[in-house]
């Protein structure tokens, strides 16, 4: 299974942010809104977790996740993330992506 995700958000601090995402999975689209908490592991690496809610097709539910962020430059990073969408049979997705900061 292949999933595609786009997201945008706002960082209140280096450790706390809010993020909205749109995920396309096999013809279905999920919209989610999550709080993101980060914990730096080094100068360029951080562990992060998410807690939020999503809506997809005819159901809503909780979404949780965790991942690693690798800062490539001052305005860019790579992320490796696992995200779980609860409800129905549940769905686990692994994302690898690029993030830009403005």
Taking alpha carbons only, the member of 20, 50, 15 closest to residue 35 is: 50
- Predicted TM-score (pTM) of this structure: 0.87
Q: Which band of pLDDT confidence, cut at 50, 70 and 90, is reported for residue 2?
A: confident
- The answer to whether the beta carbons of residues 85 and 1 sit under 8 Å apart is no
- The answer to whether the beta carbons of residues 37 and 49 sit under 8 Å apart is yes
89 SS3 class: coil
- The answer to whether the beta carbons of residues 19 and 38 sit under 8 Å apart is no
Tokens representing residue 73 in the block = 């430059």
Which domains does the chain possess? Answer: 3-100 (2.40.160.20)
pLDDT in tens, 15-74: 999 999 999 988 889 999 999 999 999 999 999 999 999 999 888 999 999 999 999 998
CA 52 to centroid of chain Cα atoms: 10
């Amino acid at each position: 299974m292949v999933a595609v995700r786009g997201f945008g958000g706002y960082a209140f601090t280096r450790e706390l942010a809010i993020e909205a995402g749109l995920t396309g999975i096999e013809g279905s689209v999920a919209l989610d809104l999550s709080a993101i908490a980060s914990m730096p592991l080094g100068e360029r690496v951080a562990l992060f977790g998410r807690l939020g809610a999503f809506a997809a097709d005819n159901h809503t539910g909780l979404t949780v996740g965790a991942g690693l962020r690798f800062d490539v430059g001052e305005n860019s990073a790579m992320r490796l993330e696992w995200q779980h969408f609860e409800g129905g049979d549940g769905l686990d997705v692994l994302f690898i992506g690029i993030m830009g900061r403005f």
